[in-house]
Amino acid sequence: MKARGLLIFLMIFTLAFVFAGCKKKEPIPEPMPSQNPPVTMPPEPAPMNEQPTGGEPNTADIFEECTRQLQPVFFDYNKSDVREDQAAALQNNARVLKASQCGTVTVLIEGHCDERGTDEYNLALGERRADTAKDYLVNLGIPENRLSTLSYGESRPFAQGHDETAWQQNRRAHFVAVRK
Amino acid sequence: MKPVIRLFFIAVLLFPLMTQSQQTSVDIGDIIGGNFVPHPILIAKPYLESSDAGAAANELVSTLGADLDYSGLFEIVDSGPYPAFQGSVNLAPYKSSRAKYVVLLKVGATETQVSVEARFYDLQSESLIVGKVYKWDRKFTRQIAHRFGDEILYRLWGVKGIFTSKIAFSSDRTGSREIWLMDYDGYNQKQITVSKALNLSPDLSPDGKKVVYTTFRFSSEGSGQILVVYSIYDGRKYTFFSKGTLNSAPAWSPDGSRIAFTSNMNGNPEIYVANADGTGAKQLTFGRSIDTSPAWNPASGQIAFTSDKSGNPMIYIMNGDGTNERRLTFVGEYNESAAWSPSGSRLAYVSRSGANFDIFSIEMDTGVVKRLSQNERSNENPYWSPDSRHITFASNRTGKYQIWSMLYDATKLRQLTQDGNNTSPSWAAGE
């Protein structure tokens, strides 16, 4: 897993140079904190928007990679406060969003609920879960303008079952790195 | 006697009749009283004006019979032992039945057209209570039966029947959650939205002509739910409200001029009321709790809603301007989805009891609570019929979520949908 991550990282890294060289119109990458080498920042936008050509490698998308590193946060039934055992996931997410690779991406925090209860209440509950996760990350130093929220209520379950095993998977805040 | 009846009949047919277009919030239960015994009614086998009118006649009889039975106000007397209507009125053969009323139908039909003469008699006084002539496209045969059924209720009790009413709901049967509309009895289901987004929580305007619903907008300025108003019969559409990322649970005011809804435009999910064009939004609830699912009392203008300010979702009531808030439900750990009967006398809601969600109804005068479902998995989103006598709701008791309806006392249960998951029914007068 680590090796794959490194490989993807290197590919993006390489591409970053390629695109930095040929795409004059793109905005200049933001300056990085001085303790990091200045070259680790991939330019935006990521290569997914480019037309693939025969000669180019099949590359991973930086947003997909950041999304992969962001961990979901699970909630108790009908609750929106952060459980003690879920704090580590949020701390991980704050680290990911401060690290150089994902240091400028914006994140959509989706709030989800299990299938029990009404659509209407679950939309509000999902929003509260997303809000709680957002507040937690802001407290850990992530700028608010990099975080947005969206509640799906019970309409996008991750697990399809109708028991607690599925329900606990579905009561969550889900983090997606997005293009601003 | 006979010529007099005929003359009366012609008079009724020729003179423009009072129509029951006026909205009424009269509860028919208050008129008929608590010890009401359904009236026996006989729908005589119709007189066929042509040999190919049989199918249309059967459709009329079965539709009208189901309507009257479902109302809980009539008991259908088997027409088998009695002669068919002979085309000219003779009540004698039906007077030996125990029916109080008789319906006589004369039906003509072509491939494309149906024509109906419908008469409703009081058998004891032999008086014609209502007679109507209908000529319509053959495909509207059920609608003719519905309209005549509404006439019967209006003539007897002065209230508008529900047989021409419509129910909007959210369905995923096409693969995406869309808004659908159907007749109150589940026939004639039609897709309203085709956006392929998530479309939830439809609420029909009191005149049944518009629907407001929650949909998802994904854009670079911010993604979230917005509320859209769609005019069902002319196709016009506008965004009612889109500030913040959460806009949900819309509910038309009883006069159709305003919409109550939930929004997080100021940070926390709160209840707002705005004019139907989206202007003049006023925040009615405050604080850190979840406040959602507003429901109007058409009689008093009060709003019931759900709040978790006690720690669990419970039903609260406030005045239409947000003042005078009080808690209504105290039992259970999850009460949601309040719905006021149009007469204001009853409030239905969902309560979680054990693993199940069930429908309950409170008599507002006495505080007496009645349980309307039990041990049948999840039963959600109760919504009253325009005549305050029936409740539609969503239940997954047969597997997927389907729309059901029942009388206020949980009898006359009907499953209205079959395909996919169907939720959030809203019931209003027809076109």
Tens place of pLDDT for every residue, chain B, 431 residues?
A: 444 444 444 434 433 333 333 344 566 677 777 788 999 999 999 999 998 899 999 999 999 999 999 999 999 999 999 999 999 999 999 999 999 999 999 999 998 999 999 999 999 999 999 999 999 999 999 999 999 999 999 999 988 889 999 999 999 999 999 999 999 999 999 999 998 889 999 999 999 999 999 999 988 777 899 999 999 999 999 999 999 999 999 999 999 999 999 999 999 999 999 999 999 999 999 999 999 999 999 999 999 999 999 999 999 999 999 999 999 999 888 999 999 999 999 999 999 978 889 999 999 999 999 999 988 899 999 999 999 999 999 999 999 999 999 999 999 999 999 999 999 999 998 86
Beta strands in B4-100 (DSSP E): 39-43, 47-48, 74-77
Instruction: Give me the pLDDT at residue A60, please.
Output: 64
Instruction: Give me the pLDDT at residue B36, please.
Output: 86
Residue found under tokens 């395909």: B419
Nearest to B198 among A116, A118, A155 (CB): A155
Report, in angstroms and rounded to the nearest whole number, the Rg of chain A calculated over CA atoms. 18
Bridge pairing between strands B210-217 and B199-204: antiparallel
Cα→Cα distances B5→B120, B129, B152, B375, Å: 12, 11, 18, 53
Q: Please state the ipTM of this predicted complex.
A: 0.86
Residue type at B422 in one-letter notation: N
Q: How far is B269 from chain A (nearest CA, A)?
A: 6
CA distance B350 to B382: 7
Q: Which domains does chain A have, with CATH numbers?
A: 57-180 (3.30.1330.60)
Report which secondary-structure segment, H or E, holds B57. Answer: helix B54-70
Interchain contact, A123 vs B424, CB within 8 Å: no
Interchain contact, A121 vs B290, CB within 8 Å: yes
Interchain contact, A155 vs B223, CB within 8 Å: no
Interchain contact, A121 vs B306, CB within 8 Å: yes
For A86-113, the pLDDT digits (tens) are: 999 999 999 999 998 899 899 999 999 9
Nearest to A118 among B214, B264, B336 (CB): B336
Interchain contact, B337 vs A121, CB within 8 Å: yes
Phi, psi of B323, deg, nearest 5: -85, 170
CA distance A151 to B198: 12
Nearest to B246 among A117, A118, A127 (CB): A127
Interchain contact, A148 vs B350, CB within 8 Å: no
Contact B169, B186 (CB under 8 A): no
Give the residue from A63, A120, A131, A174 with the most B CB atoms within 10 Å of its CB, the best one to mutate: A120
Instruction: Give me the pLDDT at residue A92, please.
Output: 97
Put simply, whether A118 touches B (Cβ < 8 Å) is yes
Q: CA A39, A42, A47, A53: dihedral to nearest 10 degrees? A: 0
CA distance B183 to B104: 25
Q: Which residues of chain A have pLDDT under 70?
A: 1-60, 180
Find all residues with CB under 8 Å of B332, minimum gap 6, and list them. Answer: B351, B352, B353
Which residues in B have their CB inside 8 Å of a CB on A? Answer: 170, 177, 198, 200-201, 214, 216, 220, 222-225, 245-246, 248-249, 262, 264, 268-269, 290-293, 306, 308, 312-313, 333-334, 336-337, 350, 352, 357, 378, 380-381, 423-424
Residues of A in contact with B225 (CB under 8 A): 123, 151
Bridge pairing between strands B74-77 and A106-112: unpaired
pTM beyond cutoff 0.90: no
Contact A102, B183 (CB under 8 A): no
Give the residue from B262, B292, B351, B401 with the most A CB atoms within 10 Å of its CB, the best one to mutate: B292
CA distance B339 to A122: 17
Per DSSP, the residues of chain A read -HHHHHHHHHHHHHHHHHHHHH-TTSPPPPPPPTTS-GGGPPPSS-GGGSPP-TTS-----HHHHHHHHSPPEE--TT--SPPGGGHHHHHHHHHHHHSSTTTT-EEEEEEE--SSS-HHHHHHHHHHHHHHHHHHHHHTT--GGGEEEEEEETSS-SS--SSHHHHHHHSEEEEEEE--
Closest chain A CA to residue B292: A121
> For B51, what's the count of Cα atoms within 13 Å in the CB-facing half-sphere?
0
Interchain contact, A108 vs B249, CB within 8 Å: no
Burial zone of B140 (CB within 10 Å; 0-12 exposed, 13-18 middle, 19+ buried)? middle
Alpha-helical runs (H) found in B112-234:
141-157
Q: What share of chain B is helix, strand, coil (3-state, %, to 5)?
A: 15, 40, 45
Interchain contact, A78 vs B313, CB within 8 Å: yes
Query: Would you give the DSSP letter of residue B159?
Result: S
CA distance A110 to A129: 8
Q: How far is A81 from chain B (nearest CA, A)?
A: 12
Residues of A in contact with B214 (CB under 8 A): 123
Structure tokens at A157: 């379950």
Residues of A in contact with B220 (CB under 8 A): 179-180
Instruction: Give me the pLDDT at residue A9, please.
Output: 54
Interchain contact, A121 vs B378, CB within 8 Å: no
CA distance A151 to B225: 8
Interchain contact, A128 vs B214, CB within 8 Å: no
Put simply, whether A128 touches B (Cβ < 8 Å) is yes
First to last CA, chain B: 39
Nearest to B290 among A116, A118, A128 (CB): A128
CA distance A173 to A155: 14
Contact B317, B325 (CB under 8 A): yes
Closest chain B CA to residue A178: B220
Helix (H), strand (E) counts: chain B: 5, 30
Structure tokens at B19: 């129509």
Contact A81, B308 (CB under 8 A): no
Q: How far is A34 from chain B (nearest CA, A)?
A: 31
CA distance B31 to A127: 45
Instruction: Give me the pLDDT at residue B296, please.
Output: 97
Instruction: Give me the pLDDT at residue A17, please.
Output: 47
Tell me how many residue pairs between chain A and chain B have CB atoms under 8 A apart: 89
CA distance B241 to B109: 48
CA distance B85 to B45: 6
First to last CA, chain A: 28
CA distance B347 to B260: 17
